[in-house]
Amino acid sequence: MVSAVDIGTGEVAYFENQEKNPLSIEHVIASGGLAPGFPMITIKDPQTGEERQRFS
């Protein structure tokens, strides 16, 4: 399980490695992002198709 902050809402988003929604490299990068050294990253929500910017 990894987590990242949704830039749009300020809420923490948690991601688990599941068969229908596997973790990707984007999830790992977003969980370790810390401005300004590691920029935020866009992650696509597999349920809604919406793209959101997130960082740790």
Annotated domain spans of the chain: 2-55
- The confidence band for 2, taking pLDDT boundaries of 50, 70 and 90, is confident
- The confidence band for 54, taking pLDDT boundaries of 50, 70 and 90, is low
Is-cis flag, bond preceding 36, omega within 30? yes
Question: What does the pLDDT read at residue 30?
Answer: 77
Model confidence pLDDT, tens digit, residues 9-45: 888 888 888 777 788 887 777 777 666 676 677 777 7
- CA 6 to CA 18: how far, in whole Å? 20
**With 60 as the cut, is the pLDDT of residue 55 above it?**
no
Its pTM stands at 0.54
